[in-house]
Amino acid sequence: MTQDNGTRGFGSFLSAFLLGATAGATVALLTAPRSGRETRAQLKSAALELQKNVQKKMKRAPEAMEFGQEAYADALGEVTYAPGLS
Q: How would you classify residue 80: left for phi > 0, otherwise alpha for psi between -120 and 50, otherwise beta?
A: beta
pLDDT band at 3 (very low <50, low <70, confident <90, very high): low
**What average pLDDT does range 52-77 have in this prediction?**
87
Q: What is the pTM of this model?
A: 0.43
- Give tens-digit pLDDT for 4-55: 555 567 778 888 899 999 999 888 878 888 888 898 898 899 999 999 999 9
Structural domain includes residue 67: yes
> Residue 68 sits in which domain range?
9-78
Q: How far apart are CA 14 and CA 68, in angstroms?
A: 47
Residue 50 lies in a domain: yes
**Number of separate domains in the chain:** 1
Rounded Cα gap, residues 11 and 18, in angstroms = 11
In Å, how far are 6, 30, 33, 80 from 23, measured between CA atoms?
Answer: 26, 11, 18, 60
Whether 14 contacts 6, CB under 8 Å: no
Kindly state whether residue 83 falls inside one of the protein's structural domains.
no
Assigned domain for 85 exists: no
